[in-house]
Amino acid sequence: MVKTAPNLYIAQYLQATGQFTGQPRTEIIKFLEAGYQRQLSYQRVDGGFSAFGNSDESGSTWLTSYVIRVFVDVRNFVFVDPSFLLRGTDWLVDRQNLDGSFNEFGRLLDTSIQGAGTGSALTAFVLLALLKVQPLVRTDCVVDFDCPRVSRWGNATTNAIRNLERLVDSNSITDQLSLALASYALAEANSSRAVPVFWQTGSTRSQRRSPTFLGRQLYNPPGQTSEFGLWRPPRVQTRAINVLITAYAIQAYIAHNRIQDALPSVLWLTTQRNPSGGFVSSQDTSVALQALAAYATETADAYTDIDIKVSNGAAVLAEFNITSQNALQLQIRELSRAAPRADVVATGTGFAVLEIVIQFNTNKQLSTPSFEVSTVLIYDNLDSFNLLICTRWLWGRESGMVVQTISVPSGFSPDMESLGNIAGVRRSERRGNTVNVYFDRIGTTSLCYSIRMTRSDKVVRTQENYIITSAYYNPSDQTVSFWQPKRLRDSTVCDVCLECCP
């Protein structure tokens, strides 16, 4: 889903603007087909979806809804078996409460969206999925005469709408994420209560005199680093939840046909991107991209002709020309390292985004480590050793799902079976010369496991190897540590190859 959803939103934008052709189309179709095949393995026998499929105790209400919302639209580009989505829909409908609300039966491994996994926010999120799958359910009735499913879907959708409407009437929706989601969902459902909840969301924004729907912002004093994102110079930073709120609010604006009013939030959202083009976590990146793509589709101008000059006040450092023909091409210019300033002047017609990225190396990490990782070598010799890794989480909040990437020394192979059944480890895999180990979570108490590595080739004086430990859905929560067997570091040709020496 991390790759499938963004590719879908890009495809929708390109198709809507008549640009879904050539190599971009070929590449996106390939990603969508691979994403569908991969997602099949995460559907449980009962129809629901979870992060680890049938190995989880229960499916996830939030994830099942998300999969349905995405893959109903993926069907417009590649083949998706209708039963794949209808079974998921049945799973959701079967778990609706009598009052029309929904509960989360699984576990959200992405801590940045846990606010969307409870209460009215979750009900609104499921409602969006039920509304999205409506044409497929009705088609299934016509083709397979499975009309009882239509009745069950209709009742579930109506009950979810009424649940949100009751909460709106009683002013029971107070947090901004729930307000934004409820406004968006009720607008999609053509509910008369969508306008009141939308104005409640807007009034919250007005009270803060901000173009965004933020819960709160973080200020990084000079010399400190943010625990919530990649390191940046001291400035106002935000959380993933704030990106989610703003993105859903933009979609609510669009659903209410108030495109112009969404512009301030769109501008704020674009300033939160990191140098790689994403945001804080994978999920808020996906939702933000969906919102920006939807807004861009509504405001797309068929004609683009923009000239951009970047200067230092005395000389032109770089020039760009963006036209309708090259608008999809990423243009990069390297500025002089001696340039003390950069003035940007743009003329012409159209829309373009220009970013200036400064990259530099440091001897130490500037970001505060999120994990404490220690290593011990056991039974080590020149031909084999056991690597004991102990990891603990350093923050007070939940870590969410964690992946640990271990680089394997040159000339050695990991024994994947030596990992065994370790409490907390959900999956392990070898990818090239690295081993990935996945955890539901890492707590503040050390979690330890060992992996055995055995020599497969004659290599001497091996270099340091790394262990990258990061939150899967928020990679900026990361720690990089290094390890190196002393015997391997100091080894000679004669040590590892007796027949090579006289």
- Strand-pairing partners, residue 97, are none
Are 4 and 70 contacting, i.e. CB atoms less than 8 angstroms apart? yes
Q: Tell me the mean pLDDT in the region 58-66.
A: 89
Sheet arrangement for strand 305-311:
316-323, 305-311, 343-349
- CA-to-CA dists, residue 343 to 200, 319, 323, 332, 361, angstroms: 40, 12, 22, 16, 25
> What is the spatial distance between Cα 84 and Cα 92, in angstroms, rounded to a whole number?
13
Sign of the Cα torsion 128, 177, 48, 165 reads negative
Q: What is the architecture of the domain spanning 371-500?
A: Sandwich (2.60)
In this structure, the dihedral spanned by the alpha carbons of residues 380, 385, 386 and 388, taken in order and rounded to 10 degrees, is 60
Whether pLDDT at 301 is above 50: yes
Whether pLDDT at 198 is above 50: yes
> What is the spatial distance between Cα 430 and Cα 406, in angstroms, rounded to a whole number?
9
Whether pLDDT at 456 is above 90: no
Are 56 and 48 contacting, i.e. CB atoms less than 8 angstroms apart? no
| Mean pLDDT taken over the chain | 82
Output Rg (C-alpha) for the chain, integer angstroms. Answer: 26
pLDDT at residue 162 in the model: 94
Q: What is the pLDDT of residues 69-119, one digit of tens each?
A: 999 999 999 999 988 999 999 999 998 999 999 988 877 666 555 555 568
- Residue 152 — pLDDT band, cuts 50, 70, 90? confident
Angle at 162 between CA 68 and CA 5, to 5 degrees: 20
Structure tokens at 413: 């192979």
Whether pLDDT at 395 is above 50: yes
Q: What is the pLDDT of residues 213-236, one digit of tens each?
A: 443 333 333 333 444 444 544 344
Whether pLDDT at 418 is above 60: yes
SS3 labels along 412-447 = EEEEHHHHCCCCCEEEEEEECCEEEEEECCCCCCCE
Q: Tell me the mean pLDDT in the region 332-339.
A: 77
pLDDT at residue 374 in the model: 93
Instruction: Work out the burial of residue 429: count CB atoms within 10 Å of its CB; fewer than 13 is exposed, 13-18 middle, 19 or more buried.
Output: exposed
Structure tokens at 394: 């350093």
pLDDT at residue 33 in the model: 94
pLDDT at residue 362 in the model: 73
Q: What is the pLDDT of residues 339-384, one digit of tens each?
A: 677 889 999 998 888 888 877 777 776 677 889 999 998 877 878 8
| Distinct helix (H) and strand (E) counts, the chain | 14, 14
| Least confident window among 135-149, 274-288, 410-424, 427-441 | 135-149
Q: Which of 67-71, 178-182, 312-316, 480-484 is most confident?
A: 67-71
Q: Tell me the mean pLDDT in the region 16-32.
A: 90
Q: What is the pLDDT of residues 118-135, one digit of tens each?
A: 688 899 999 999 999 988
- Number of residues in the chain: 502
> What is the spatial distance between Cα 357 and Cα 468, in angstroms, rounded to a whole number?
24
DSSP E strands, 286-370: 305-311, 316-323, 343-349
501, amino acid identity: C
Percent of the chain surpassing pLDDT 90: 29
Domain ranges of the chain: 208-301, 305-349, 371-500
Q: Find tokens 């499929």 and name the residue.
A: 53
Between β-strands 371-378 and 412-415, what pairing exists: parallel, antiparallel or unpaired? unpaired
Whether pLDDT at 274 is above 60: yes
pLDDT at residue 154 in the model: 86
HSE, side-chain direction, 13 A CA sphere, residue 267: 9
| Least confident window among 152-166, 215-229, 318-332 | 215-229
Chain-centroid distance of CA 215 in Å reads 20
Burial 20-55 (b: 16+ CB within 10 A, else e): beeeeeeebeebbbebbeebeebbbeebbbbbbbee
Burial 370-380 (b: 16+ CB within 10 A, else e): bbbbebebeeb
Higher pLDDT, 397 or 97: 97
